[in-house]
Amino acid sequence: MALVKYGGGIVQMSGSIAGTTHARNRFGNYMRARTKPINPNTAGQQAVRAALTYLTERWSQTLTIAQRAAWNLYGTNVAMKNKLGETVYLTGFNHYIRSNSLLARFGGTCIDAGPVVFELPETDPLLGVSGSEAAQQLSCSWDDALPWADENGAFIYFYQGIPQNGQRNFFDGPYRYLGGVAGVNGAPPPGPSLFAPKWAIAETQRTWIYARIFRADGRISEKFRADCIIAA
């Protein structure tokens, strides 16, 4: 891996060109040899691909012109960040897939009406996680005072990262879906919730989770993360 400092006509790069991948971590820009990912075609991958195929067809064949226009309007008004940290605006199709992919994957009812609130749900700075090797459990906690927790049809969901050595300080994947918790109007779930890890965990390992908040109108937050050292 080589560190890189850009100047002149190039100030930042992300992605692959020929056999070289350009990226950035907490220490700056770097380049590394490109590696070709394998395709194990697991049941999870098949489920995700099936959901994307279903939603793509639903967008073109089921949604009305007015519904597609509403999603496009939402995309035009909601700023996102790309890999370079720049502000971009996704298409309505992108947002529709982004918001409904988890629902389609697990048999939920797709939300076809575009959101009329033009902002992403807030993330949760109180997100927390702890784990036990003996129990083989991860405990995820959140702030039950946030609006999603008091809303029927909203939920928070979690992904677990593959465990790492305890001295590792940053991690960017892979992750697997861990589980979710639904909001309840009048009785917000206080947490924490216990989940069986997708990868076995052992004492002194560090594991990361990320979460997203899903609102009942189909809006979905950016990722937010927490990590912990696994206890005995």
**What is the domain-level CATH number for residue 163?**
2.60.40
Q: What local confidence, expressed as pLDDT, does residue 38 receive?
A: 66
Q: Has residue 29 got a pLDDT over 80? A: no
Whether 154 is covered by a domain: the verdict is yes
Res 194: pLDDT: 97
Q: Considering the domain boundaries, does residue 112 fall inside one?
A: no
Q: Total structural domains in the chain?
A: 3
Closest CA to 198 of 189, 210, 190: 210
Q: What end-to-end distance do the CA atoms of the chain give, in Å?
A: 35
For residue 43, the model assigns a pLDDT of 74
- Please, are residues 56 and 27 in contact by the beta-carbon 8 Å criterion? no
Mean pLDDT of 138-150: 97
Residue 75's H or E segment, with its range, is helix 65-77
Q: Where in the sequence is the domain holding 189, given as residue range(s)? A: 128-229
Q: Which range has the worst mean pLDDT, 21-25, 127-131, 190-194?
A: 21-25
Q: How confident is the model at residue 21, as a pLDDT?
A: 75
Write the burial class of residue 85 (CB in 10 Å: 0-12 exposed, 13-18 middle, 19+ buried). Answer: exposed
Q: Is the pLDDT of residue 35 over 90?
A: no
DSSP, collapsed to helix, strand or coil, labels residue 12 as coil
Q: Which of 12-16, 107-111, 172-176, 209-213 ranks highest by mean pLDDT?
A: 209-213
| Predicted pLDDT of residue 195 | 97
Residue type, 125: P
Q: What is the pLDDT of residue 82?
A: 80
| Residue 164 and residue 216 share a domain | yes
User: Cβ–Cβ contacts within 10 Å for residue 72, how many?
Assistant: 17
The answer, yes or no, to whether residue 27 has pLDDT greater than 60, is: no
What's the pLDDT score for residue 5? 66
pLDDT of residue 3: 60
pLDDT of residue 18: 65
Average pLDDT over residues 67-73: 97
The CA–CA distances, whole Å, from 30 to 13, 27, 62, 132 equal: 9, 9, 44, 36
pLDDT at 225 over 90: yes
pLDDT for res 42: 75
Residue 114 lies in a domain: no
Q: What is the spatial distance between Cα 121 and Cα 64, in angstroms, rounded to a whole number? A: 25
Of 123, 110, 115, residue with least CA distance to 77: 115
Q: Decide: helix, strand or coil at residue 132.
A: strand
Q: Are residues 25 and 52 in the same domain?
A: no
Q: Which residues contact 87 (CB under 8 A, 6 or more apart)?
A: 79, 80, 81
Same domain, 149 and 218: yes
